[in-house]
Amino acid sequence: MNRRQLISQLGLSMVLAGFCTPALSMPYDGVWVRVDTQSSTTEVWHGRDRQLVLDRVAFGRGGISDLHLKGDHTTPRGRFRITRVNKESRFHLFLGINYPTQQHLDAAHHQGVVDTQEYLASRNHGRIYGEFPQSGTLGGYIGFHGIGQGDPQVHDDFHWTQGCIAMTNEQIETLYAHVEIGTPVVIE
């Protein structure tokens, strides 16, 4: 059975097939970020060469999911890009990613999570503004951030975010020094 048949048999949307592919099998030529949810690490790569490993990162307290839904506190898997930086975040520094992507929106519509009206409105919003709404059924405002004034012990002991990838304030500064707007991100 090939991969496509297996995914179909499992009842998953075909647009999610790309989420199952290990990042290392399709690296980017330049700088990119890989989030390994199994080992709780964030890695900075340059092509096939790993440049940096940030360990002990925290994820959404709801776990890891192919589709993050507004309020479910999960961290979404997929391929993204860094789209914004907030240096005045209450979490010290915030590097936003472009969740939801077209693939997430298509999968949510295919699975009946997003109705046709919201799907078309979201696509129209994406054409006009270059990103999909952050406050719809799929939520948004996902990215990397520090812990700000939070308790470092809580950070070390729990996955505590609402869906973001959290790291120490020092780690988010280090990550920020290696990336820029447009840097590819793979969360797997």
* Inside any domain, residue 153: yes
Same domain, 107 and 95: no
Residue 104 has pLDDT above 80, yes or no: yes
Same domain, 157 and 186: yes
Residue 98 has pLDDT above 70, yes or no: yes
DSSP characters over 138-153: T----EEE--TTS-HH
pLDDT tens by residue, 17-74: 344 444 455 568 899 999 999 999 999 999 999 999 999 999 999 999 999 999 999 9
Domain CATH for 176: 2.40.440.10
Same domain, 157 and 128: no
In which domain, by residue range, is 87 found? 28-99+139-188
Same domain, 70 and 146: yes
* Inside any domain, residue 2: no
Instruction: Kindly report which listed range (6-20, 54-68, 162-176) carries the lowest average pLDDT score.
Output: 6-20
* Inside any domain, residue 174: yes
Query: What is this structure's pTM?
Result: 0.85
pLDDT tens by residue, 107-134: 999 999 999 999 999 999 999 999 999 9
Same domain, 95 and 106: no
Which of 35, 37, 3, 36 has its CA nearest to residue 17?
3
End-to-end CA distance of the chain: 23
How many separate domains does the chain show? 2
